[in-house]
Amino acid sequence: MSVNTTRISAGQALDALRTGHAAQVAGQMTVSWMLHGRPGIGKTEIVQQLAQETGSGLFDLRLTTIEPQDLRGLPFYDHDTRRTVWYRPEDLPDDPAHPAILFLDELTAVAPTLQPTIYGLLQERRIGRHSLPDNTFIVAAGNAVEDGAVAYEMGTALSDRLVHLNVAATATDWLTRYAVPRGLHPAVTAFIRTRPDLLETTEDALRQGNMIACTPRSWARVSTILNAVGDKDLRDVLIAGTLGEAVAAEFVLIAEEVASTVQATALIETTPAERAELYPSSLHGLTALVYALITLADAATIERVIDVMVEVGGLAKMRKDAGFERLPLGELSTYGIELLIEKALKDGLQEAFRHSRSYAAYTADRQAMGLA
């Protein structure tokens, strides 16, 4: 059974949940939400970020690991009332003074015997006599059968209790909203910007009968491997075990180029006269440099980062190298400056742009060309 709704990016899904959460807090709407999407595209991270932004406690229930009695609680006999009473499980929110997000992960992998127990949580927001506090926001997530994951078809009795968001991995959204803010290794961000088709390859892997596929989660893991493992041979083995042999072979070549040519720290620490020869000469290297500069930008370095980012656009004149003339240097510089402005606004560093001569010259040039 297909998820017959619009496919959206992870960033759009987070925006939708933000809006839904704000509407629930305002008393305008209380619904339960469902994130559909292939394994590894960031569904859990979306919910974790929402919890962090809203200051909510996150109750993460992996539904494939529990039985119906784990949700309803344990019964005991009350001799005074001559009734059976249920102890409430600690895995469910119960404090009306503190906002909470109840995350029902792997909903589509739930055994049919557990599904009726979930119905009450999603629609009536209760199990038995145990009701969720009004400040509990409910989000579920799961994979489809065709994703190669353990999953059951979602019946109408379950699907009708949810607002469905069909999440797909997109390179631009992932780079802007996830990879750059988290400072992923510049080799990873540079590679995905030039090969966006390899961000998520689950469908191709399934069609070819391969176990390993690229996903946003696996690329984040590759970043961790690059930062943590010093031995090249071992690092290459681990990357192949994360991405698959073919993609890993292509990526490792780029990673080696980035490692040998990208000198972001040296560029922002040296004098302008000495910078020219430190710039990498390939598109992959320059793209990785842009992402590395974003990561290095802070209160102490941002003015020099602005200088370097602007210079990227003028490398063809600075180096008088015909190879640079064939590269989209202006586009790359503009892209980097836009990311840098976004980070500066977030971190309260925007005053650096007001005082930067490089940025003033960059803005004047764009105005002269009718681009600003």
* H-only helix segments in the chain: 10-25, 43-54, 68-72, 115-123, 156-159, 171-174, 186-194, 202-208, 216-228, 232-243, 245-261, 264-269, 272-275, 283-296, 302-312, 315-319, 322-325, 329-347, 351-355, 357-368
**Per-residue pLDDT for 119 more than 70?**
yes
Give Cα 107 to chain centroid, integer Å. Answer: 21
For 166-179, give one letter per residue: b (16+ CB within 10 A) or e: bbbbbbebbbbbbb
* Residue range 22-26: mean pLDDT, rounded: 95
Percent of the chain whose pLDDT exceeds 90: 57
Taking residues 35-63, what's their average pLDDT? 93
* Cα–Cα distances in angstroms (integers) from residue 131 to residues 47, 160, 321, in the given order: 22, 20, 69
Dihedral sign computed on CA atoms, order 102, 107, 113, 119 = positive
Which amino acid is it at 48? Q
Residue 20: its pLDDT value, please? 96
List the domain boundaries for the chain: 7-168, 172-368
Q: Assess if CATH 1.20.1090.10 describes domain 7-168.
A: no
With 0-12 CB in 10 A as exposed, 13-18 as middle and 19+ as buried, what is 322? Answer: exposed
Mean pLDDT confidence for 34-55 = 94
Write the CA distances from 46 to 34, 42, 103, 144, 196, integer angstroms: 12, 6, 11, 18, 21
pTM, two decimals, is 0.82
Is 19 exposed, middle or buried, given 0-12, 13-18 or 19+ CB atoms closer than 10 A?
A: exposed
pLDDT at 158 over 80: no
Q: Are the C-beta atoms of residues 206 and 148 closer than 8 Å to each other? A: yes
* Token pair recorded at residue 286: 């320059």
Phi, psi of 36 (to 5 degrees): -95, 150
**Is residue 199 predicted with pLDDT exceeding 80?**
yes
